[in-house]
Amino acid sequence: MDHQTLQTLWFVLITVLFSGFFFLEGFDYGVGILLPFVAKNDRERRVVINAIGPVWDGNEVWLLTAGGAIFAAFPHWYATLFSGFYLPLFLILVGLIVRGVGFEFRSKVDNVNWRKAWDYAIFVGSLLPALLFGVAFGNIVRGVAIDQSMTFVGSFFDLLNPYALLGGVVTLLAFVLHGALFLEIKVDGVIRQRVAAVARFLWLPVVGVVLAFVAYSAAETTMFAEVNIMEALALGGAVIALLVVGFGVFTKRFGLAFGASGLALVFTVVLLFSALFPNVMPSSLNPAYSLTIYNASSSQYTLSVMSAIALTLVPIVLAYQAWSYWVFRKRLTLESHLEY
């Protein structure tokens, strides 16, 4: 394939990786955020954590792979993103570390206060990424202060603008709803009743903030200035998926609601990347300074080698992850054997 085709291919692959990350890790974060609220004692908290215990670290592979793909395929994008968004990404990393340590350490000591402290660490470690990923994507879509040398020249506080913060609220609430729907189909008993109530309560606020974000995007960004077919399909798919979520929640078809919630997240990611294309980081100073898939990419040879590796290994990873979900598909109860 020629260089331009490879650049487009890797932009699409990164979109797929972030879509998978939002679908899978989205309910992980939601479960972690819900942990202190839907589980009232240690046994219930163990059930909630065990619902994602076998899969949470595998779900994070999607983020690691997306970051690695950006580094290898679009090194200028990686450099500008990680230097300009250093503090928010550092906070996300701290959250992920604290969260992972919480999962592994909470049952190492047979002490109620020890476990409770790690449970709140899981809560904070899930909350930070759920909020900050939305803030980061909101800033990318809105445009950031990038000069002609592909350098971010803004400040941390420039990233805390109302539009990006609203994006953070969208991902936070959407992940919590997604997590509640996952728990409803994964656990049983009183926890199942509580998360079903959470899902019914959250659906309308999620729809409200999503509509507000779409309206704000039309006013604040160029997302809907020239709508292409992919943007239209993604926006329509996200709207339909959200409506199906509501239908599933209020008719107690939670498996349908969970699938639709995941699709809504996927369509949202596709919408954002479709609106960006061919940009990867628009400049708010001058459109000519924007990073695109053309001026930010690696060489044709590098992209060719990466494509061969991806086509070989990605199907294996997908098959293994699907197998792990199949093995741990059983619904958990308070009487289940629990590890965490």
The owner of tokens 């085709």 is 5
Encode pLDDT of 167-185 as tens digits.
999 999 999 999 999 999 9
Q: Is the pLDDT of residue 154 over 90?
A: no
Domain boundaries, the chain: 3-327
Encode pLDDT of 320-332 as tens digits.
888 988 988 888 8
219 phi, psi to nearest 5 deg: -85, -35
User: What is the Cα–Cα distance from 255 to 270, expressed in whole angstroms?
Assistant: 23
User: 156: which 2 tokens?
Assistant: 């941390």
Q: Is the pLDDT of residue 3 over 60?
A: yes
Residue 338 has a pLDDT of 63
Over range 94-106, report the average pLDDT: 92
146 phi, psi to nearest 5 deg: -115, 130
pTM, two decimals, is: 0.93
Q: Tell me what percent of the residues of the chain surpass a pLDDT of 70.
A: 99
Q: pLDDT tier at 266 (50, 70, 90 boundaries)?
A: very high
With beta carbons less than 8 A apart as the criterion, state whether 226 and 272 touch.
Answer: no
Residues shown for the chain: 340
User: 127: which 2 tokens?
Assistant: 């909350």
